[in-house]
C-alpha cells in the first residue's frame, strides 16, 4: 500500500511534532516517547508523550472528530473557559506497510492537574467527593453561560487542580460539545445536568464496587449534589430581582454577591415599572474570575480563583499590619509580593517544587501557620512554620506537576536540618516583617 502524506494542523510551529512516531499505532509507541501520568477513563486510546520537553496528550480518533474538537477547544479558549489547550491535529497517518491509522488530536497537559481517581490514595472521602462535584458544577455554569452544551458531562471528562482547599475543574473532552451563540435553552441545560447526575452516580458506584469508597458514603446523594450546587450558582447569576426605587443599594448588594462568588457583571438589565415605584434588575453578561483578575492586575500572579481570593486576603492583612503609608494599593501589592509571597516560594527546596504549584504552597503555609499557632497558643514565626511545613507536610506529598527538566529561571535552595535556609538574594527581606 502507498503511504499517505502526513497532514499536521497546529496552532504553533513546533518541529518536535515531526519527530513523534506517527507511523506507529499509539498503543505501540516506544517508551522513550511516552510519559507515565495518571489519566482518566476514555472511550478512545489516550497516551501522554514528550513533545520538545513538555508533556502533551495524544488521542486517536477520526480525522473529522479530531478537527472538530480542535476547533471547539479553540473557541472555548476564546471565551476564557477552563479547558485543556489544543496543540495539533495529525491526519494522513499510515503504518510502515501503508495501512491507514487513526487521526490524532494533540492537547497540552495541564500542569498540576489530575483525573478524579488520582486525587485520593485509597478511598474517596465524602468531603473530597463534594468538593469535586462543586467544582464540576461551577465549570458547567461557566460553560452554559457562554452557550456551550457539553453532552458528555462526567468526572472522567474533567481534570482537577487544587485551589486553596477546593478544586478547580477543567474540561478535557469536548468532542460531543456544541457552542450556541444564541445561548442554551432550559431543556439543553437540564439535559446536561441530568446527564452529569447520572454519570457521577455511576462513577461513584464504580468506586464503591472496587472498595474505594469510604463507608457510609451515598453515591446518589453525591450525584444529587451537583444539581443543587449548579442551580444555586445559576440562579445567583441569572435571577431577576425587583425592589422599590428607594432601595437602589440593592443593585450594589447584587454586584457584591456575585463578586463574592467569583463573578463580575459586564452588563445588567435595569427596568422601572410603568408607575415608577419599582425597579427590576437582571444580570445579562457575567464573567468568572473576579479575584483572579484583581490579583493578576496587582501582582502579575496568574492563579486559580480561590487561590487568588486567599492571596488577596493575605495581601489585605499585610497592608493592615504595615506601619508604612505607601499610598496606592499597587505599591502595597508589590511590597507583599517581594516580602511575603516570593520568600516563601523561594524557600521551597528545588526537589520539592513539583509537589504543588506556588500559590497552593503559599496557601497551605498560611493554613499550617494557623494550626501551629492554635496548637502552641502563640504566634509562630514564619521561618519556623516553613521548616515544619516542608519537613512534616510537603516532603510527604506526591508530585503533582510534570517536570521534564530543571527550569533554568529558578534556583535550588539548600535545606538546613531544623531550619529553613534563605538564598543570598533575599538581602532586602527582613524576616521579622513576616512574623
Residue extents of the structural domains in the chain: 7-108, 113-238, 241-288, 329-434
Question: What proportions of the chain, in percent to the nearest 5, are helix, strand and coil?
Answer: 45, 20, 35
406: left (phi over 0), alpha (psi -120 to 50) or beta: beta
Q: Residues 61, 175: contact at Cβ < 8 Å?
A: yes
Beta carbons within 10 angstroms of residue 161's beta carbon: 23
The H or E element spanning position 405 is none
CB 75 within 8 A of CB 174: no
Please name which of 50, 80, 98 lies closest in space to residue 142, comparing C-alpha atoms: 80
**What is the full DSSP assignment across 307-370?**
HHHHHHHHHHHHHHH------SHHHHHHHHIIIIIHHHHHHS-GGGTTSS-HHHHHHHHHHHHH
pLDDT of residue 243: 86
Q: Where are the beta strands (DSSP E) in 116-262?
A: 148-149, 158-163, 166-171, 178-179, 241-244
In this structure, what is the dihedral angle of CA atoms 279, 280, 284, 286, given to the nearest 10 degrees? 80
- Rounded to whole angstroms, the Cα distance separating 261 from 61 reads 38
Residue 123: what pLDDT? 79
pLDDT at position 425: 33
Q: What is the DSSP string of 201-249?
A: HHHHHHHHHTT-B-TT--HHHHHHHHHHHHHHHHHHHH--EEEETT-TH
CATH topology of domain 113-238: Transferase(Phosphotransferase); domain 1 (1.10.510)
pLDDT value for 326: 62
C-beta neighbour count of 65 within 10 angstroms: 17
Beta pairing, strands 86-91 & 7-10:
antiparallel
- Is pTM beyond 0.85 here? no
| Helical ranges in 54-185 per DSSP H | 63-78, 126-145
Instruction: Please list, in sequence order, all residues whose beta carbon lies within 8 angstroms of the beta carbon of residue 419, skipping any fewer than 6 positions away.
Output: 383, 387
CA 373 to chain centre: 30
Question: pLDDT 10s per residue in the chain (435 long)?
Answer: 556 688 999 977 788 999 999 999 999 999 999 988 766 666 789 999 999 989 999 999 999 999 999 999 999 999 999 999 999 999 999 998 889 999 999 999 988 888 888 877 667 888 888 999 999 999 999 999 999 999 999 999 999 999 998 899 999 999 899 999 989 999 999 999 999 999 999 999 988 888 888 877 788 999 999 999 999 999 999 998 898 888 888 888 888 888 888 888 888 888 888 887 788 888 887 888 999 999 999 999 999 999 999 999 999 888 888 766 666 788 889 999 999 999 999 999 999 988 899 999 999 999 999 999 999 999 899 889 999 999 999 998 877 765 443 333 333 333 333 334 333 333 333 333 333
The pLDDT of residue 318 is 87
Measured distance CA(148)–CA(189) in Å, rounded: 9
Would you state the CATH architecture of domain 7-108? 2-Layer Sandwich (3.30)
SS3 272: strand
Q: State the residue for C-alpha cell 431577576.
A: 240
40: three-class secondary structure by DSSP:
coil
β-partners of residue 272 are 279
Q: What is the per-residue pLDDT for 401?
A: 63
**Are residues 157 and 250 in contact, defined by beta-carbon separation less than 8 angstroms?**
no
- Distance from the first to the final alpha carbon of the chain: 72
In the prediction, which pLDDT does 246 show?
83
Quote the radius of gyration of the chain (alpha carbons, Å): 24
Amino acid at each position: 500500500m502507498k503511504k499517505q502524506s502526513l497532514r499536521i494542523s497546529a496552532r504553533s510551529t513546533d518541529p518536535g511534532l515531526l519527530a513523534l512516531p506517527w507511523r506507529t499505532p499509539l498503543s505501540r509507541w516506544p517508551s522513550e516517547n511516552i510519559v507515565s501520568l495518571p489519566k482518566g477513563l476514555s472511550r478512545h486510546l489516550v497516551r501522554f508523550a514528550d513533545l520538545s520537553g513538555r508533556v502533551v496528550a495524544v488521542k486517536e480518533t477520526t480525522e473529522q472528530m479530531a478537527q472538530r474538537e480542535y476547533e471547539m477547544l479553540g473557541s472555548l479558549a476564546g471565551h476564557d473557559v477552563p479547558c485543556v489547550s489544543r496543540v495539533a491535529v495529525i491526519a494522513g497517518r499510515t503504518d510502515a506497510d501503508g495501512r491507514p491509522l487513526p487521526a490524532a488530536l494533540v492537547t497540552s497537559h495541564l500542569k498540576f492537574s489530575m483525573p478524579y481517581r488520582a486525587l485520593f490514595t485509597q478511598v474517596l472521602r465524602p468531603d473530597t467527593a463534594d468538593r469535586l462535584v462543586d467544582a464540576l458544577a461551577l465549570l458547567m455554569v461557566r460553560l452554559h453561560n457562554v452557550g456551550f452544551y457539553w453532552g458528555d458531562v462526567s468526572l472522567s471528562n474533567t481534570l482537577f487542580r487544587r485551589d486553596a482547599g477546593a478544586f478547580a475543574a477543567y474540561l478535557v473532552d469536548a468532542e460531543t460539545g456544541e457552542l450556541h451563540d444564541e445561548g442554551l435553552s432550559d431543556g439543553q441545560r437540564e439535559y446536561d445536568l441530568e446527564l452529569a447526575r447520572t454519570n457521577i452516580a455511576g462513577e461513584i458506584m464504580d468506586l464503591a464496587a472496587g472498595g474505594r469508597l469510604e463507608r457510609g458514603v451515598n453515591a446518589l446523594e453525591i450525584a444529587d449534589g451537583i444539581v443543587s450546587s449548579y442551580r444555586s450558582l445559576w440562579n445567583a447569576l441569572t435571577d431577576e430581582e425587583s425592589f422599590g426605587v428607594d432601595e437602589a443599594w440593592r443593585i450594589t448588594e447584587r454586584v457584591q454577591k456575585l463578586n463574592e462568588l467569583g463573578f463580575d457583571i459586564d452588563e445588567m438589565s435595569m427596568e422601572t415599572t410603568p408607575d415608577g415605584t419599582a425597579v427590576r434588575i437582571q444580570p445579562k453578561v457575567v464573567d468568572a474570575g473576579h479575584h483572579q483578575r484583581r490579583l493578576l492586575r496587582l501582582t502579575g500572579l496568574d492563579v486559580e480563583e480561590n487561590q487568588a481570593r486567599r492571596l488577596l486576603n493575605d495581601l489585605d492583612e499585610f497592608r493592615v499590619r504595615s506601619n508604612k503609608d505607601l499610598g496606592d494599593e499597587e505599591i502595597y501589592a508589590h511590597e507583599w509580593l517581594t516580602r511575603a509571597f516570593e520568600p516563601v516560594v523561594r524557600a521551597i527546596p528545588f526537589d520539592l517544587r513539583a509537589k504543588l504549584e506556588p500559590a497552593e504552597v503559599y496557601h497551605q503555609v498560611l493554613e499550617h501557620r494557623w494550626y501551629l499557632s492554635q496548637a502552641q497558643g502563640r504566634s509562630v514565626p514564619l521561618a519556623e512554620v516553613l521548616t515544619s511545613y516542608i519537613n512534616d507536610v510537603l516532603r510527604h506529598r506526591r508530585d503533582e506537576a510534570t517536570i521534564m527538566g530543571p527550569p533554568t529561571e529558578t534556583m535550588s535552595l539548600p535545606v538546613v536540618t531544623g531550619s529553613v535556609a534563605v538564598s543570598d538574594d533575599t538581602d532586602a527581606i527582613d524576616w521579622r516583617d513576616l512574623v
